[in-house]
């Protein structure tokens, strides 16, 4: 738990203390309740899991399906309007801002088969998803990539890439990741250099 809270403090300059993170950050509450909902979901108590997830949505504005797989240290900053679909998979140390959607694209098969099919994205470690980003379908967003605000991603994203636009395109490939201590964390997935290049 301390690692989780410390990781949030390192990614949010507005975080003044661990206590303020615990008491006032909706993303922390949403992830906490998701862990409980996911436990019941995996145990086969889907209705209880959905009730927990919908209660969390009511209080936080963040909708995480109890079937979603979430790694360590997911930081949902601000959070209002975030939607994470049932077959989404999220790696470690991912940062996500408000109004992000990890949405499903339905395969053209009968509804029973759809329930067994991967429909939502896989987000690898250290990804930053800017506010309003829409990542749709059973695609993979590579490690240490950045999805800029309001980008719409419908194809796989390579590692270290920065994606911008509708539909999103690669505008930059980095050579390092924040975990490598060679580059700093870039809130919202966009830094000054990228803004200057546009």
Q: What token pair was written down for 131?
A: 């506010």
Looking only at the bridges linking them, the beta strands covering 89-90 and 69-70 are parallel
**Does residue 198 fall inside a structural domain?**
no
pLDDT tens digits along 160-198: 999 999 999 999 888 777 665 445 566 666 665 555 555
**Does residue 158 fall inside a structural domain?**
yes
Residue 171 DSSP SS3:
strand
CB 37 within 8 A of CB 53: yes
**Does residue 197 fall inside a structural domain?**
no
Give the range of the structural domain holding residue 36, as residue numbers without chain letter. 2-191
Q: What is the pTM of this model?
A: 0.88
pLDDT tens digits along 100-123: 999 998 766 655 666 678 999 999
Domain total of the chain: 1
Q: How far apart are CA 73 and CA 71, in angstroms?
A: 7
User: Rounded to the nearest 10 degrees, what angle do helices 2-11 and 26-42 cross at?
Assistant: 140
Q: How far, in Å, are 45, 59, 97 from residue 66 at the CA level?
A: 10, 16, 20
């Amino acid at each position: 738990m301390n690692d989780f809270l410390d990781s949030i403090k390192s990614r949010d300059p507005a975080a003044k203390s661990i206590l303020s993170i615990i008491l006032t950050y909706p993303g922390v509450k949403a992830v906490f309740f998701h862990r409980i909902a996911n436990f019941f979901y995996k145990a086969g108590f889907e209705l209880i899991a959905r009730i927990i997830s919908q209660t969390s949505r009511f209080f936080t504005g963040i909708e995480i399906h109890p079937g979603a797989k979430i790694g360590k240290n997911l930081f949902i900053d601000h959070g209002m309007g975030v939607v994470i679909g049932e077959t989404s998979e999220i790696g470690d140390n991912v940062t996500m801002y408000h109004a992000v959607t990890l949405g499903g694209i339905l395969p053209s098969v009968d509804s029973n088969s759809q329930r067994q099919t991967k429909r939502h994205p896989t987000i690898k470690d250290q990804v930053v998803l800017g506010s309003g980003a829409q990542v749709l379908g059973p695609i993979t967003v590579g490690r240490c990539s950045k999805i800029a605000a309001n980008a719409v991603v419908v194809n796989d994203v390579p590692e270290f890439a920065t994606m911008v636009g509708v539909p999103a395109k690669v505008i930059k490939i980095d050579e390092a990741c924040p975990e490598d201590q060679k580059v700093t964390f870039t809130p919202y997935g966009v830094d000054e250099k990228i803004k200057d290049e546009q």
